[in-house]
Structure 1
Amino acid sequence: MRQFAVIGLGRFGSKVAETLAKKGVHVIAIDSDPELVGRVSDVVTKAVQIDSTDEESLAASGVKDVDVAVVAMGEDVESSILTTALLKNLNIKEIVARACTKLHAQILKMVGATRVVFPEEDMGIRVANSILSPGVLEYIELGADYTLAEIEAKSESIGHTINELDLKTRYGINVLIVKRKVIEVGEKAGEATEKEVKVLPTSDYKIQRGDILVVVGNSKDVESFEKHMK
Protein backbone atom coordinates (compact mmCIF):
# COMPACT_ATOMS: atom_id res chain seq x y z
CA MET A 1 0.00 0.00 0.00
CA ARG A 2 1.31 3.43 -0.94
CA GLN A 3 1.90 5.85 1.92
CA PHE A 4 1.29 9.61 1.84
CA ALA A 5 2.17 12.64 3.93
CA VAL A 6 0.21 15.89 3.81
CA ILE A 7 1.99 18.88 5.32
CA GLY A 8 -0.12 21.96 5.98
CA LEU A 9 -3.70 21.33 7.08
CA GLY A 10 -5.57 24.42 5.97
CA ARG A 11 -8.65 24.04 3.76
CA PHE A 12 -6.69 22.61 0.85
CA GLY A 13 -4.39 20.33 2.84
CA SER A 14 -7.07 18.96 5.13
CA LYS A 15 -9.27 18.11 2.16
CA VAL A 16 -6.37 16.32 0.45
CA ALA A 17 -5.64 14.36 3.64
CA GLU A 18 -9.29 13.43 4.23
CA THR A 19 -9.82 12.36 0.62
CA LEU A 20 -6.72 10.16 0.63
CA ALA A 21 -7.73 8.62 3.96
CA LYS A 22 -11.21 7.79 2.67
CA LYS A 23 -9.53 5.83 -0.13
CA GLY A 24 -8.07 3.58 2.55
CA VAL A 25 -4.40 4.55 2.18
CA HIS A 26 -1.86 5.34 4.90
CA VAL A 27 -1.82 9.11 5.54
CA ILE A 28 0.41 11.14 7.87
CA ALA A 29 -1.05 14.63 8.42
CA ILE A 30 1.30 17.34 9.68
CA ASP A 31 0.83 20.93 10.84
CA SER A 32 2.21 23.24 13.51
CA ASP A 33 -1.31 24.26 14.59
CA PRO A 34 -2.71 21.82 17.20
CA GLU A 35 -6.30 22.75 16.35
CA LEU A 36 -5.85 21.84 12.67
CA VAL A 37 -4.09 18.60 13.61
CA GLY A 38 -6.94 17.72 15.95
CA ARG A 39 -9.55 18.18 13.23
CA VAL A 40 -8.12 15.37 11.10
CA SER A 41 -6.73 13.10 13.82
CA ASP A 42 -9.74 10.77 13.73
CA VAL A 43 -9.64 10.48 9.94
CA VAL A 44 -5.99 9.92 9.00
CA THR A 45 -3.57 7.18 10.02
CA LYS A 46 -1.35 9.53 12.00
CA ALA A 47 -1.65 13.23 12.84
CA VAL A 48 1.46 15.06 14.02
CA GLN A 49 1.95 18.57 15.40
CA ILE A 50 5.43 19.77 14.43
CA ASP A 51 7.22 22.59 12.67
CA SER A 52 7.86 21.07 9.23
CA THR A 53 10.85 23.38 8.69
CA ASP A 54 12.68 21.59 11.53
CA GLU A 55 14.57 18.75 9.85
CA GLU A 56 14.85 16.52 12.93
CA SER A 57 11.15 16.83 13.75
CA LEU A 58 10.16 16.21 10.15
CA ALA A 59 12.33 13.09 9.91
CA ALA A 60 10.98 11.77 13.23
CA SER A 61 7.36 12.22 12.07
CA GLY A 62 7.58 9.20 9.79
CA VAL A 63 7.67 11.00 6.44
CA LYS A 64 10.88 9.19 5.49
CA ASP A 65 8.78 6.11 4.74
CA VAL A 66 6.12 7.72 2.54
CA ASP A 67 5.92 7.37 -1.23
CA VAL A 68 4.37 10.80 -1.84
CA ALA A 69 4.53 14.00 0.20
CA VAL A 70 2.11 16.87 -0.40
CA VAL A 71 3.30 20.31 0.70
CA ALA A 72 -0.08 21.99 1.04
CA MET A 73 0.75 25.30 2.69
CA GLY A 74 0.53 28.03 0.08
CA GLU A 75 0.49 31.46 1.69
CA ASP A 76 3.53 30.73 3.89
CA VAL A 77 5.95 30.76 0.98
CA GLU A 78 9.12 30.47 3.05
CA SER A 79 7.86 27.44 4.98
CA SER A 80 6.67 25.68 1.84
CA ILE A 81 10.06 26.13 0.16
CA LEU A 82 12.04 25.01 3.23
CA THR A 83 9.75 22.02 3.79
CA THR A 84 10.07 20.96 0.15
CA ALA A 85 13.87 21.20 0.33
CA LEU A 86 13.93 19.10 3.53
CA LEU A 87 11.71 16.45 1.96
CA LYS A 88 14.13 16.29 -0.96
CA ASN A 89 17.00 15.80 1.52
CA LEU A 90 15.02 12.94 3.08
CA ASN A 91 14.93 11.27 -0.36
CA ILE A 92 11.16 11.45 -0.83
CA LYS A 93 10.73 10.40 -4.46
CA GLU A 94 7.51 12.27 -5.22
CA ILE A 95 6.86 15.73 -3.78
CA VAL A 96 3.69 17.58 -4.78
CA ALA A 97 3.82 21.22 -3.72
CA ARG A 98 1.19 23.95 -3.75
CA ALA A 99 2.25 27.30 -5.23
CA CYS A 100 0.74 30.78 -5.15
CA THR A 101 2.71 32.39 -7.97
CA LYS A 102 4.78 31.38 -10.99
CA LEU A 103 7.97 32.46 -9.22
CA HIS A 104 7.00 30.43 -6.17
CA ALA A 105 6.48 27.42 -8.45
CA GLN A 106 9.88 27.85 -10.09
CA ILE A 107 11.63 27.93 -6.71
CA LEU A 108 9.70 24.87 -5.49
CA LYS A 109 10.86 22.93 -8.54
CA MET A 110 14.43 24.09 -8.02
CA VAL A 111 14.51 22.80 -4.43
CA GLY A 112 12.94 19.43 -5.17
CA ALA A 113 9.23 19.48 -6.01
CA THR A 114 8.39 16.89 -8.67
CA ARG A 115 5.00 18.46 -9.32
CA VAL A 116 3.57 21.90 -8.56
CA VAL A 117 -0.15 22.65 -8.35
CA PHE A 118 -2.13 25.90 -8.36
CA PRO A 119 -5.45 25.05 -6.62
CA GLU A 120 -6.87 28.58 -6.75
CA GLU A 121 -5.91 29.03 -10.41
CA ASP A 122 -7.26 25.61 -11.39
CA MET A 123 -10.54 26.25 -9.56
CA GLY A 124 -10.83 29.66 -11.20
CA ILE A 125 -10.52 28.05 -14.63
CA ARG A 126 -13.15 25.43 -13.76
CA VAL A 127 -15.59 28.02 -12.39
CA ALA A 128 -15.14 30.22 -15.47
CA ASN A 129 -15.79 27.28 -17.78
CA SER A 130 -18.87 26.25 -15.80
CA ILE A 131 -20.24 29.79 -16.19
CA LEU A 132 -19.51 29.87 -19.92
CA SER A 133 -20.87 26.34 -20.45
CA PRO A 134 -23.66 25.67 -17.91
CA GLY A 135 -24.30 22.26 -19.46
CA VAL A 136 -20.85 21.11 -18.36
CA LEU A 137 -21.08 19.83 -14.78
CA GLU A 138 -17.33 19.27 -14.39
CA TYR A 139 -14.42 20.44 -16.51
CA ILE A 140 -10.78 19.34 -16.20
CA GLU A 141 -8.01 20.40 -18.57
CA LEU A 142 -5.66 17.48 -19.27
CA GLY A 143 -2.98 19.47 -21.07
CA ALA A 144 -2.08 19.50 -24.76
CA ASP A 145 -5.53 21.03 -25.51
CA TYR A 146 -7.44 18.01 -24.20
CA THR A 147 -10.34 18.17 -21.76
CA LEU A 148 -12.28 15.75 -19.57
CA ALA A 149 -15.84 16.93 -18.96
CA GLU A 150 -19.11 15.77 -17.41
CA ILE A 151 -22.08 16.71 -19.59
CA GLU A 152 -25.73 16.01 -18.89
CA ALA A 153 -27.52 14.10 -21.66
CA LYS A 154 -30.19 16.20 -23.39
CA SER A 155 -33.33 15.28 -25.31
CA GLU A 156 -31.64 14.70 -28.69
CA SER A 157 -29.42 11.93 -27.32
CA ILE A 158 -31.94 10.24 -25.00
CA GLY A 159 -33.11 6.87 -26.28
CA HIS A 160 -30.18 6.49 -28.68
CA THR A 161 -27.24 4.12 -28.33
CA ILE A 162 -23.61 5.21 -28.19
CA ASN A 163 -23.17 3.64 -31.62
CA GLU A 164 -26.11 5.57 -33.07
CA LEU A 165 -24.84 8.88 -31.72
CA ASP A 166 -21.44 8.24 -33.37
CA LEU A 167 -19.83 10.94 -31.23
CA LYS A 168 -16.29 10.09 -32.30
CA THR A 169 -17.05 10.79 -35.96
CA ARG A 170 -19.43 13.71 -35.44
CA TYR A 171 -17.62 15.54 -32.65
CA GLY A 172 -14.23 13.88 -32.18
CA ILE A 173 -14.97 12.88 -28.57
CA ASN A 174 -15.21 9.60 -26.66
CA VAL A 175 -17.61 8.65 -23.86
CA LEU A 176 -15.56 7.05 -21.08
CA ILE A 177 -18.17 6.60 -18.36
CA VAL A 178 -21.88 7.21 -17.87
CA LYS A 179 -23.10 8.26 -14.42
CA ARG A 180 -26.68 7.41 -13.56
CA LYS A 181 -28.91 7.83 -10.50
CA VAL A 182 -30.83 4.72 -9.47
CA ILE A 183 -33.32 4.09 -6.69
CA GLU A 184 -32.54 1.21 -4.36
CA VAL A 185 -35.51 -0.24 -2.50
CA GLY A 186 -34.83 -1.17 1.12
CA GLU A 187 -36.09 -4.16 3.07
CA LYS A 188 -38.71 -2.09 4.90
CA ALA A 189 -41.86 -0.96 3.11
CA GLY A 190 -41.47 2.49 1.60
CA GLU A 191 -37.73 2.55 2.26
CA ALA A 192 -35.72 3.73 -0.75
CA THR A 193 -32.43 5.51 -1.32
CA GLU A 194 -30.96 7.24 -4.35
CA LYS A 195 -27.54 6.00 -5.44
CA GLU A 196 -25.16 7.00 -8.22
CA VAL A 197 -23.78 4.19 -10.36
CA LYS A 198 -21.03 4.39 -12.96
CA VAL A 199 -21.33 2.45 -16.20
CA LEU A 200 -18.62 1.65 -18.74
CA PRO A 201 -20.79 2.04 -21.85
CA THR A 202 -20.60 -0.40 -24.74
CA SER A 203 -21.59 0.60 -28.26
CA ASP A 204 -25.16 -0.64 -27.67
CA TYR A 205 -25.62 1.28 -24.41
CA LYS A 206 -28.82 3.36 -24.64
CA ILE A 207 -28.71 6.87 -23.17
CA GLN A 208 -31.41 7.58 -20.58
CA ARG A 209 -32.82 10.81 -19.17
CA GLY A 210 -30.65 12.07 -16.32
CA ASP A 211 -27.48 10.34 -17.55
CA ILE A 212 -24.22 12.23 -17.11
CA LEU A 213 -21.71 11.56 -19.89
CA VAL A 214 -18.04 11.69 -18.93
CA VAL A 215 -16.36 12.59 -22.22
CA VAL A 216 -12.79 13.28 -23.32
CA GLY A 217 -11.50 15.01 -26.40
CA ASN A 218 -9.92 18.10 -27.86
CA SER A 219 -11.08 21.14 -25.87
CA LYS A 220 -12.74 22.72 -28.92
CA ASP A 221 -14.54 19.47 -29.77
CA VAL A 222 -15.83 19.11 -26.20
CA GLU A 223 -17.05 22.72 -26.28
CA SER A 224 -18.79 22.10 -29.62
CA PHE A 225 -20.52 19.00 -28.26
CA GLU A 226 -21.64 20.85 -25.12
CA LYS A 227 -23.20 23.63 -27.21
CA HIS A 228 -25.00 21.04 -29.32
CA MET A 229 -26.41 19.43 -26.16
CA LYS A 230 -28.01 22.66 -24.88
Structure 2
Amino acid sequence: MKQFAVIGLGTFGCQVCRTLMEKGAEVIAIDADPKRVEAMKDEVTQTLCLDATDEEALAHSGVLDVDAVVVAMGERMEAAIVATSILKRLGAGQIIARAASSLYARILADVGADRTILIEEQMAAQVAQSLITPNVLEQMTLASGHSLVEMRPPRSMVGRRLGDLDIRRKYRVNIIAVKRRIPIISEEGESGFHEQVNDLPGPDDVLTQDDILVAVGQDEDIERLSAGK
Protein backbone atom coordinates (compact mmCIF):
# COMPACT_ATOMS: atom_id res chain seq x y z
CA MET A 1 0.00 0.00 0.00
CA LYS A 2 1.34 3.41 -0.94
CA GLN A 3 1.94 5.96 1.78
CA PHE A 4 1.93 9.74 1.50
CA ALA A 5 2.28 12.79 3.71
CA VAL A 6 0.47 16.06 3.09
CA ILE A 7 1.79 19.19 4.81
CA GLY A 8 -0.71 22.03 4.92
CA LEU A 9 -4.41 21.37 5.43
CA GLY A 10 -6.04 24.18 3.54
CA THR A 11 -8.63 23.48 0.84
CA PHE A 12 -6.03 22.07 -1.56
CA GLY A 13 -4.24 19.94 1.01
CA CYS A 14 -7.46 18.47 2.41
CA GLN A 15 -8.69 17.53 -1.04
CA VAL A 16 -5.38 15.82 -1.83
CA CYS A 17 -5.74 13.85 1.42
CA ARG A 18 -9.30 12.78 0.65
CA THR A 19 -8.51 11.72 -2.90
CA LEU A 20 -5.48 9.69 -1.84
CA MET A 21 -7.55 7.94 0.84
CA GLU A 22 -10.30 7.18 -1.70
CA LYS A 23 -7.64 5.56 -3.89
CA GLY A 24 -6.64 3.24 -1.06
CA ALA A 25 -3.45 4.97 0.10
CA GLU A 26 -2.33 5.69 3.65
CA VAL A 27 -2.04 9.40 4.44
CA ILE A 28 -0.31 11.39 7.17
CA ALA A 29 -1.93 14.85 7.34
CA ILE A 30 0.18 17.60 8.92
CA ASP A 31 -0.54 21.21 9.88
CA ALA A 32 0.51 23.67 12.57
CA ASP A 33 -3.11 24.69 13.19
CA PRO A 34 -4.78 22.38 15.77
CA LYS A 35 -8.26 23.16 14.40
CA ARG A 36 -7.31 22.04 10.89
CA VAL A 37 -5.69 18.89 12.25
CA GLU A 38 -8.75 18.08 14.36
CA ALA A 39 -11.06 18.56 11.36
CA MET A 40 -9.16 15.92 9.34
CA LYS A 41 -8.51 13.31 12.03
CA ASP A 42 -11.33 11.00 10.93
CA GLU A 43 -10.57 11.27 7.21
CA VAL A 44 -6.92 10.14 7.08
CA THR A 45 -4.66 7.45 8.49
CA GLN A 46 -2.83 9.76 10.88
CA THR A 47 -2.80 13.45 11.75
CA LEU A 48 0.05 15.44 13.26
CA CYS A 49 0.05 18.97 14.62
CA LEU A 50 3.53 20.37 14.10
CA ASP A 51 5.50 23.19 12.55
CA ALA A 52 6.94 21.91 9.26
CA THR A 53 9.77 24.45 9.49
CA ASP A 54 11.01 22.69 12.65
CA GLU A 55 13.61 20.24 11.35
CA GLU A 56 13.65 18.04 14.44
CA ALA A 57 9.85 17.75 14.53
CA LEU A 58 9.74 16.93 10.82
CA ALA A 59 12.50 14.34 11.17
CA HIS A 60 10.46 12.43 13.78
CA SER A 61 7.09 12.79 12.03
CA GLY A 62 7.34 9.72 9.80
CA VAL A 63 7.44 11.69 6.54
CA LEU A 64 10.83 10.19 5.67
CA ASP A 65 9.24 6.75 5.36
CA VAL A 66 6.47 7.62 2.88
CA ASP A 67 6.51 7.36 -0.92
CA ALA A 68 5.96 11.08 -1.49
CA VAL A 69 5.39 14.28 0.45
CA VAL A 70 2.99 16.96 -0.78
CA VAL A 71 3.88 20.43 0.51
CA ALA A 72 0.51 22.17 0.22
CA MET A 73 1.28 25.37 2.12
CA GLY A 74 0.38 27.63 -0.80
CA GLU A 75 -0.67 30.57 1.38
CA ARG A 76 2.62 30.47 3.36
CA MET A 77 5.26 30.32 0.66
CA GLU A 78 8.23 31.19 2.88
CA ALA A 79 7.32 28.31 5.19
CA ALA A 80 6.80 26.02 2.19
CA ILE A 81 10.29 26.84 0.91
CA VAL A 82 11.86 26.12 4.30
CA ALA A 83 9.89 22.87 4.70
CA THR A 84 10.86 21.72 1.21
CA SER A 85 14.52 22.46 1.88
CA ILE A 86 14.40 20.53 5.17
CA LEU A 87 12.68 17.55 3.54
CA LYS A 88 15.33 17.43 0.83
CA ARG A 89 18.16 17.66 3.35
CA LEU A 90 16.63 14.90 5.48
CA GLY A 91 16.39 12.60 2.46
CA ALA A 92 12.62 12.47 1.96
CA GLY A 93 11.28 10.62 -1.07
CA GLN A 94 9.52 12.45 -3.87
CA ILE A 95 8.64 16.03 -2.90
CA ILE A 96 5.70 17.72 -4.62
CA ALA A 97 5.14 21.37 -3.72
CA ARG A 98 2.32 23.77 -4.42
CA ALA A 99 3.55 27.16 -5.64
CA ALA A 100 1.75 30.51 -5.59
CA SER A 101 3.61 31.83 -8.65
CA SER A 102 6.14 30.88 -11.30
CA LEU A 103 8.87 32.58 -9.26
CA TYR A 104 8.07 30.51 -6.18
CA ALA A 105 7.90 27.39 -8.35
CA ARG A 106 11.49 27.99 -9.49
CA ILE A 107 12.64 28.62 -5.93
CA LEU A 108 10.91 25.47 -4.66
CA ALA A 109 12.57 23.46 -7.42
CA ASP A 110 15.94 24.98 -6.53
CA VAL A 111 15.65 23.97 -2.87
CA GLY A 112 14.56 20.41 -3.58
CA ALA A 113 11.02 20.01 -4.95
CA ASP A 114 10.86 17.25 -7.56
CA ARG A 115 7.63 18.68 -8.94
CA THR A 116 5.79 21.96 -8.48
CA ILE A 117 2.08 22.67 -8.96
CA LEU A 118 0.78 26.09 -10.00
CA ILE A 119 -2.90 25.72 -9.11
CA GLU A 120 -4.02 29.22 -10.04
CA GLU A 121 -2.30 29.21 -13.44
CA GLN A 122 -3.53 25.71 -14.24
CA MET A 123 -7.10 26.55 -13.24
CA ALA A 124 -7.01 29.76 -15.27
CA ALA A 125 -5.83 27.80 -18.31
CA GLN A 126 -8.60 25.23 -17.79
CA VAL A 127 -11.27 27.93 -17.52
CA ALA A 128 -10.04 29.60 -20.69
CA GLN A 129 -9.91 26.25 -22.47
CA SER A 130 -13.47 25.43 -21.36
CA LEU A 131 -14.66 28.65 -22.98
CA ILE A 132 -12.94 27.72 -26.24
CA THR A 133 -14.08 24.07 -26.19
CA PRO A 134 -17.27 23.92 -24.06
CA ASN A 135 -17.89 20.24 -24.86
CA VAL A 136 -14.55 19.19 -23.34
CA LEU A 137 -15.06 17.98 -19.75
CA GLU A 138 -11.50 16.92 -18.86
CA GLN A 139 -8.18 17.52 -20.59
CA MET A 140 -4.72 16.08 -19.98
CA THR A 141 -1.71 17.40 -21.87
CA LEU A 142 0.35 14.57 -23.36
CA ALA A 143 2.99 16.67 -25.10
CA SER A 144 3.25 20.14 -26.57
CA GLY A 145 0.08 20.71 -28.57
CA HIS A 146 -1.38 17.23 -27.96
CA SER A 147 -4.01 16.21 -25.41
CA LEU A 148 -6.16 13.36 -24.15
CA VAL A 149 -9.68 14.62 -23.47
CA GLU A 150 -13.09 13.52 -22.28
CA MET A 151 -15.78 15.38 -24.18
CA ARG A 152 -19.45 15.28 -25.04
CA PRO A 153 -20.24 14.78 -28.72
CA PRO A 154 -21.29 17.93 -30.58
CA ARG A 155 -25.05 18.16 -31.10
CA SER A 156 -24.60 17.62 -34.84
CA MET A 157 -23.10 14.15 -34.18
CA VAL A 158 -25.76 12.84 -31.78
CA GLY A 159 -27.75 9.95 -33.24
CA ARG A 160 -25.18 9.19 -35.93
CA ARG A 161 -22.88 6.19 -36.45
CA LEU A 162 -19.17 6.61 -35.76
CA GLY A 163 -18.42 5.13 -39.16
CA ASP A 164 -20.53 7.79 -40.90
CA LEU A 165 -18.90 10.58 -38.91
CA ASP A 166 -15.40 9.46 -40.00
CA ILE A 167 -13.87 11.50 -37.17
CA ARG A 168 -10.31 10.27 -37.65
CA ARG A 169 -10.17 11.38 -41.29
CA LYS A 170 -12.13 14.63 -40.95
CA TYR A 171 -10.64 15.87 -37.69
CA ARG A 172 -7.40 13.86 -37.28
CA VAL A 173 -8.62 12.85 -33.81
CA ASN A 174 -8.75 9.27 -32.52
CA ILE A 175 -11.76 8.16 -30.45
CA ILE A 176 -10.24 5.53 -28.14
CA ALA A 177 -13.28 4.89 -25.92
CA VAL A 178 -16.91 5.86 -25.35
CA LYS A 179 -18.40 6.13 -21.86
CA ARG A 180 -22.15 5.68 -21.46
CA ARG A 181 -24.41 5.93 -18.39
CA ILE A 182 -26.82 2.99 -18.21
CA PRO A 183 -29.93 3.38 -15.98
CA ILE A 184 -30.20 0.65 -13.32
CA ILE A 185 -32.49 -0.28 -10.45
CA SER A 186 -30.81 -1.49 -7.26
CA GLU A 187 -31.99 -4.44 -5.18
CA GLU A 188 -33.53 -1.90 -2.82
CA GLY A 189 -35.56 -0.48 -5.71
CA GLU A 190 -33.56 2.74 -5.98
CA SER A 191 -32.79 4.11 -9.43
CA GLY A 192 -29.28 5.03 -10.46
CA PHE A 193 -26.72 4.77 -13.22
CA HIS A 194 -23.90 2.41 -14.14
CA GLU A 195 -21.04 3.74 -16.25
CA GLN A 196 -20.28 1.44 -19.16
CA VAL A 197 -17.00 1.89 -21.02
CA ASN A 198 -16.69 0.77 -24.62
CA ASP A 199 -12.92 0.66 -25.11
CA LEU A 200 -13.24 -0.66 -28.67
CA PRO A 201 -15.78 1.66 -30.30
CA GLY A 202 -16.73 0.45 -33.77
CA PRO A 203 -18.17 2.06 -36.90
CA ASP A 204 -21.71 0.86 -36.11
CA ASP A 205 -21.82 2.46 -32.64
CA VAL A 206 -24.38 5.28 -32.50
CA LEU A 207 -23.63 8.31 -30.32
CA THR A 208 -26.14 9.59 -27.77
CA GLN A 209 -26.29 13.04 -26.18
CA ASP A 210 -25.13 11.68 -22.81
CA ASP A 211 -22.11 9.81 -24.19
CA ILE A 212 -18.61 10.89 -23.21
CA LEU A 213 -15.95 10.46 -25.88
CA VAL A 214 -12.37 9.74 -24.84
CA ALA A 215 -10.27 11.25 -27.61
CA VAL A 216 -6.62 11.98 -28.36
CA GLY A 217 -5.19 14.40 -30.89
CA GLN A 218 -3.73 17.83 -31.50
CA ASP A 219 -5.36 20.64 -29.51
CA GLU A 220 -6.46 22.58 -32.58
CA ASP A 221 -8.09 19.46 -34.06
CA ILE A 222 -9.86 18.71 -30.77
CA GLU A 223 -11.21 22.28 -30.80
CA ARG A 224 -12.63 21.73 -34.30
CA LEU A 225 -14.19 18.44 -33.21
CA SER A 226 -15.71 20.05 -30.10
CA ALA A 227 -17.32 22.70 -32.29
CA GLY A 228 -18.50 20.07 -34.78
CA LYS A 229 -17.05 22.06 -37.67
TM-score of the two chains, using structure 1 as the length reference: 0.90
Shift of 1:102: 1.6
Q: How does 1:104-119 map to 2 (within 5 A)?
A: 104-119=104-119
Partner of 2:87: 87
What is the rounded CA distance, in whole Å, between the counterparts of 1:35 and 1:201 in structure 2? Answer: 49
Q: Which amino acid aligns with 1:55?
A: E
- Alignment of 1:100 onto 2:100: yes
Shift of 1:164: 4.5
Greater Cα offset, 115-124 or 154-163: 154-163
Q: Does the 8 Å CA contact 1:130/1:139 hold for their aligned counterparts?
A: no
Partner deviation per Cα, 1:77-129 (whole Å, 9 max, x = no partner) = 11110111111122223111111112111111111111111011111111111
Partner of 1:206: 205
Q: Does the 8 Å CA contact 2:84/2:108 hold for their aligned counterparts?
A: yes
What is the rounded CA distance, in whole Å, between the counterparts of 2:43 and 2:219 in structure 1? Answer: 37
Shift of 1:170: 2.1
Q: How does 1:107-186 map to 2 (within 5 A)?
A: 107-186=107-186
Greater Cα offset, 47-56 or 136-145: 136-145
Q: Which amino acid aligns with 2:62?
A: G
What is the rounded CA distance, in whole Å, between the counterparts of 1:162 and 1:201 in structure 2? Answer: 12
Greater Cα offset, 113-122 or 194-203: 194-203
What is the rounded CA distance, in whole Å, between the counterparts of 1:188 and 1:66 in structure 2? Answer: 42
What is the rounded CA distance, in whole Å, between the counterparts of 1:87 and 1:186 in structure 2? Answer: 49
Q: Which amino acid aligns with 1:104?
A: Y
TM-score of the two chains, using structure 2 as the length reference: 0.91
Greater Cα offset, 180-189 or 10-19: 180-189
Partner of 2:219: 219
Partner of 1:195: 194
- 1:147 to 1:58, Cα distance in 2 relative to 1, 3 A: same
Q: Does the 8 Å CA contact 2:6/2:70 hold for their aligned counterparts?
A: yes
Q: Which amino acid aligns with 2:60?
A: A
Q: Which runs of 5+ in 2 are unaligned?
A: none
Q: Which runs of 5+ in 1 are unaligned?
A: none
Partner of 2:45: 45
- Alignment of 1:23 onto 2:23: yes
What is the rounded CA distance, in whole Å, between the counterparts of 2:43 and 2:111 in structure 1? Answer: 31
Greater Cα offset, 178-187 or 56-65: 178-187
Shift of 1:199: 3.2
Partner of 2:68: 68
Give the superposed CA RMSD: 2.0
What is the rounded CA distance, in whole Å, between the counterparts of 2:88 and 2:113 in structure 1? Answer: 8
Partner deviation per Cα, 1:140-170 (whole Å, 9 max, x = no partner) = 3344111232221234434445454332322
Shift of 1:205: 6.3
Q: Which amino acid aligns with 1:178?
A: V
DSSP-derived class of the 2:130 partner: helix
Partner of 1:12: 12
Greater Cα offset, 34-43 or 104-113: 34-43
Q: Which amino acid aligns with 1:208?
A: L
Q: Does the 8 Å CA contact 2:135/2:154 hold for their aligned counterparts?
A: no
